[in-house]
Homo-oligomer: A and B are copies of this chain.
Amino acid sequence: MTSTSKRRRSGDTKAAIRAAARERFAADGYDRATIRAIAADAGIDPAMVMRYFGNKESLFAAAAEFDLRLPDLSQVPHDELGARIAAHMITRWDGDETLLALLRAAVTHPAAADRIREIFAAQLGPAVQAIAPDDPVTRSGLVASQVLGLALTRYVLRLPPVAAMDKDAVVAWLGPTLQRYLTGPR
Q: Is A60 an interface residue (CB 8 A)?
A: no
Q: Is A176 an interface residue (CB 8 A)?
A: yes
Residues 24 to 39 of chain A near chain B (Cβ within 8 Å)? 28-29, 31-32
Q: Is the CB of A138 within 8 A of B161?
A: yes
Closest to A113 in B: B157
CB proximity of A139 to chain B, nearest CB, Å: 8
**Which residues on the B side are within 8 Å of A32 (C-beta)?**
31, 108
Q: Is A132 an interface residue (CB 8 A)?
A: no
Residues of A contacting B: mostly: helix
CB proximity of A101 to chain B, nearest CB, Å: 11
Q: Is the CB of B152 within 8 A of A148?
A: yes
**Which residues on the B side are within 8 Å of A148 (C-beta)?**
149, 152-153, 157
CB proximity of A155 to chain B, nearest CB, Å: 11
**Which residues on the B side are within 8 Å of A117 (C-beta)?**
157-160
Q: Is A56 an interface residue (CB 8 A)?
A: no
29 contacts between A and B (CB under 8 A): A28-B108, A104-B107, A104-B108, A106-B156, A106-B157, A108-B108, A113-B156, A117-B157, A137-B160, A138-B161, A138-B165, A138-B169, A138-B173, A141-B153, A141-B162, A141-B165, A142-B173, A144-B162, A145-B152, A145-B159, A146-B146, A146-B149, A148-B149, A148-B153, A148-B157, A149-B150, A152-B152, A173-B181, A177-B180
Given A146-B149, A177-B180, 9 new contacts (CB under 8 A)? A29-B31, A113-B157, A116-B157, A137-B161, A141-B153, A141-B165, A145-B153, A148-B152, A173-B181
